[in-house]
Amino acid sequence: MTTRKHIEARDAGRDIGAELLQAIKDVKAGRHGARYTVEANDIVRIRLNCGLSQAQFAAALQISPRTLQQWEQGRRQPSGAAETLLKIVARHPEVLREVMAGS
């Protein structure tokens, strides 16, 4: 059974534009019916492991939701400090929840 969480996890890191472009290329090349799977990237997994929406996670990191979306879609990369914070949150998601509870 597919749950909403599974669907969100699967689709959170998808780049629909790139998938559509690839599908068009496949059709033009005569390849029909190809299936593609896109795994959620590390940032999406970290956020989902914290149990937060994009808006909540962005607020906790004090970044814009758009910046988070771009990270999750692979269009931008976190800076050195943000990358370090994400590594800490990946190992200790409770720290981020504690920080949020204290704000």
The amino acid present at 5, given as its one-letter code, is K
Q: pLDDT tens across 28-75, in order?
A: 887 766 554 445 588 999 999 999 999 999 999 999 999 999 999 888
What is the extent of the structural domain holding 60? 4-102
The pTM of the full predicted model, rounded to 2 decimals, is: 0.60
In 3D space, the residue among 55, 79, 80 whose CA is nearest the CA of residue 68 turns out to be: 55
CATH number, residue 42: 1.10.260.40
Number of domains in the chain: 1
- For the chain, the C-alpha Rg in angstroms (whole number) is 16
**85: Cβ–Cβ under 8 A, 6 or more apart, which residues?**
61
Residues in the chain: 103
Distance separating alpha carbons of residues 47 and 69, to the nearest angstrom: 11
What pLDDT sits at residue 38?
43
Q: How far is the first Cα of the chain from the last one, in angstroms, to the nearest whole number?
A: 38
Helix 93-102 / helix 54-61 crossing angle, nearest 10 deg: 80
